[in-house]
Amino acid sequence: MKKTAAEVWTGCLSFIRDNVSPTSFKTWFEPIIPVKLEDNIITIQVPTQFFYEWLEEHYLTLLKSAIKKELGPDGKLEYSIVMAGSSASTSAYTTKVPPTDRRAVLNPAVNAPMDLSSSKTIRNPFVVPGLKQINIESNLIPSKNFDNFVEGDCNRLARSAGFAVSKNPGGTSFNPLLLYGGAGLGKTHLAHAIGIEIKKNFPDKIVLYIDADKFTRQFVDAVKNNSTNDFVNFYQLMDVLIIDDVHHLSGKEKTQDVFFHIFNHLHQNGKQIILTSDKPPVEIVGMEQRLLSRFKWGLSADLQMPELETRIAILKSKIYKDGIELPDEVLEYLGYSITSSVRELEGALISLLAQSSYNKKEITLELAKKIIDRFVKNTQREISIEYIQKVVCDYFKLSVDVIKSKTRKREVVQARQIAMYFAKSYTKFSLATIGAHCGGKDHATVLHACKTVNNLMETDKRFKAYVDELDKKINLNA
């Protein structure tokens, strides 16, 4: 009986799972969808061009082995990439296993924002011959590198994209690379890290980091001094231009206009552009549409608030770098308590260390509670799903990992349902998100859990006492 595409790909995944880490499998293989199987060619759908390039660069050998195992030596793999703004997927690449050739069929209307075949390098009359060799300060901060950037589910795509750019600046499909997210989540750190890595890999490339406000001030000064051409020509020299907080250009029409021309020149000449913003392009207000459309040419990758494990890893990285040791319970308390931003998390750690040093007190959980409560006293602490799970698990003397597992033991199921109930009551997350945090449950399971808890509270006095006591504990420390 002939196998289906889904059956073949399931076999491939079984082989792949045994050869990569669980995190890599979840990030790079679970999102893949098998599309069809014809003439010994399996077509798989991947979400982005970047996703395709990452698989080709890092997992091609593994994919070849998996396909050969399932389809034999004549098996072939075809990628179907869903293009932004396209309702249908475009069959863009076919790879033979083993590969003998590669063809690319690109849809110019979707995948190629401009025709560069006739573009020529613009010679700038204001550029003195040999200026390229002048040492231009990059403005990069050495401590903000990849070694000090803690990776987690919250930033994996952005970090992976940044690292790929650092290996081949201007030569990937994610140009520009736009990193977006709230304040204090690591956008600036990652932008510096990419620039530093590029300088390490390509010492002769001219890399420049600048925030959008300073860029605007420089342009205003250039207009006043009648040196706009010099300003433009200087920025056209860059091999890699990093503009931080590009959303600050909103409402500044003339600055946007000059940046538009700089952007076009750099992009057309294969130079890398890296941008950071507090929001994705579609949400930036006051920016010219022609610029916003160019921001979408490459990859927009978001950075979110780190999950608990990553927050604790950030704290451990920080104290390790400074040669400090702290009890795990203190680090866990900090991780549970500070959920607004990485910047605030590090600020709380610094406050704790400073208080300990000035008052010559040992850092204990009690001291941490006093300092952190004072640190966030003027800020209403948001109750997180992780915090609720911790309180519930501590109450029932269970580990958080247990309620995230698939076990159906009665006491675990009950604790899981109570955690879901409080998560729905005290957070703004959707039922699907709550379920994902509780072991990958779906929204129907969460809804059933909430109904079960409500019903038991009405019929079981002892159970109601549990819930009331937990309610007080959650609100007491929140």
Averaged over 248-264, what is the pLDDT? 89
Which comes out higher in pLDDT, residue 142 or 133? 142
Residue 126, pLDDT score: 31
CATH topology of domain 134-302: Rossmann fold (3.40.50)
C-alpha closest to that of 456 among 470, 466, 446? 466
Mean pLDDT, rounded, for 316-332 = 76
Pick the CATH number of 5-106 from 3.30.200.20, 3.30.300.180, 3.30.450.20, 3.40.50.620: 3.30.300.180
Choice among 81-85, 293-297, 409-413 with the minimum mean pLDDT: 81-85
Average pLDDT of the residues of the chain: 79
Q: Is the pLDDT of residue 211 over 50?
A: yes
pLDDT of residue 407: 86
What pLDDT shows up at residue 319? Answer: 75
pLDDT at 269 over 80: yes
Lowest model confidence (mean pLDDT) among 99-113, 157-171, 205-219: 99-113
Percent above pLDDT 90 for the chain = 16
Residue 381 confidence (pLDDT): 52
pLDDT over 50 (residue 107):
no
For the chain, give every domain's residue range: 5-106, 134-302, 308-375, 385-477
Position with higher pLDDT, 430 vs 449:
449
pLDDT at 274: 95
pLDDT above 80 for 353 = no
* CATH number of the structural domain 385-477: 1.10.1750.10
The string of pLDDT tens digits covering residues 17-44 is 888 787 778 888 888 999 999 888 999 9
pLDDT at residue 340, as a whole number: 67
Say whether pLDDT at 114 is over 60. no
* pLDDT band for position 1 (cuts 50, 70, 90): low
Per-residue pLDDT reduced to its tens digit, 70-102: 888 888 888 887 644 444 444 444 444 444 333
Fold agreement (5-106, 308-375)? no
> What is the predicted pLDDT for the residue at 93?
44
Q: What per-residue confidence (pLDDT) applies to 317?
A: 76
Is it the case that residue 111 has pLDDT exceeding 90?
A: no
Architecture in CATH for domain 308-375: Orthogonal Bundle (1.10)
Give the pLDDT band (50/70/90) at residue 311.
Answer: confident
pLDDT for 149-203, tens place per residue?
878 778 888 888 899 999 999 888 888 999 998 777 888 999 999 999 999 999 8
pLDDT at 105 (0 to 100): 30
256 pLDDT exceeds 80?
A: yes
Find the mean pLDDT for residues 219-241.
86
Question: Where does the pLDDT of residue 418 fall: very low under 50, low under 70, confident under 90, or very high at 90 and above?
Answer: very high
